[in-house]
Chains A and B, each alone.
Chain A
Amino acid sequence: MANTETALKECLSSIDGATAAALVDYTSGMALGTLGGGKDFNLEVAAAGNTDVVRSKLRTMELLGLKEEIEDILITLNSQYHLIRLLKGRGGNGLFLYLVLDSSRANLAMARHQMRRIENELEV
């Protein structure tokens, strides 16, 4: 079992191309923990903005009458991938893991696989 800090460290160290990670509460839009990012990438802004992304998708699914759950959301930019993984179970409800990847160095399939593993080990 890993706590928030270890899980975020694990994200950056074990996933190739990862440059920033955050654990975000999308009921409030605030981050429970952030790692990486630096001065030119404000993870607080990313947490608030991506909360809107998640809420918007959940609302759309509700309107469409889909009784499904979001496993993850992938956003592809010119040089980055942004991965949002919604946590399930064990108090992880209402939380998502947010990962920024450098697309020239990242392996998407591997990144998703590792995110799933980190989620399973995470205890909030």
Chain B
Amino acid sequence: MAVETDVLDELRRLRTRVPRLAGSLAATVDGLVLAHDVPATEPEGLAALTAAALGVAHRMTDAAGRGDFRELLVRGAHGYIATYAAGTTAVLTLLADDRVNVGRLHLEGRRSGARIAELVDARIGPGGGRHADRPAAGDGAPDPVDRSRPIGTLPVRTPQRPAHRPRTGG
């Protein structure tokens, strides 16, 4: 249980360092809450949505040839949602007001993500998560765990051929 309290401490520290931060959540890449500090939002839903967004973000960075996933920023009319990679097993999602200092949010979010990665990796060990087949940020060699399952990817649908070919002409 120690890792959860350590991560929660980190989230609390983050709140004092970033003005206008509305909430923060650390989750595993498969959508389970590790620790949260989100007063106005349901953490489980947010963790699940983070995992879904992460899957798409991984596909985007892959498809566009932009390397490993680092962060995701979404802006709504009333504020920002930022997701930062925290190693291969965890992510950090931050909710902030519209008037937040985004520069500072990035700086502290990245730093915090790295610290949470250390905490989680020390406890669980790296390479245990859903995206374990992906190399960690700044880590060269990929971890050959569970390569059979292409995780974090959306199922690819190939349209079925119609059984009956439509008649052409008369």
Contact = CB atoms under 8 A, between A and B. Distances in A.
B12 interface: no
Interface stretch (A4-12, A13-21, A24-32, A72-80): A24-32
Which size bracket describes the interface of B in this complex? Answer: 10 to 19
Interface string B106-128: 11000000000000000000000
A49 interface: yes
A17 B82 CA distance: 38
Contacts of A29: 100-105
A106 interface: no
Interface stretch (A40-48, A62-70, A82-90, A114-122): A40-48
B13 interface: no
Contacts of B107: 44-45, 48
Nearest to B105: A29
A52 interface: yes
Interface in A33-66: 44-45, 47-49, 51-52, 55
Interface residues of A, number: 14
A30 B99 contact: no
B107 to A, nearest CB: 6
B105 to A, nearest CB: 8
Contacts of A49: 104
A48 B104 contact: yes
Interface in B22-62: none
A45 B104 CA distance: 7
24 contacts: A24-B103, A27-B99, A28-B101, A28-B102, A28-B103, A29-B100, A29-B105, A31-B103, A44-B103, A44-B106, A44-B107, A45-B107, A47-B103, A48-B101, A48-B103, A48-B104, A48-B106, A49-B104, A51-B101, A51-B104, A52-B19, A52-B101, A52-B104, A55-B101
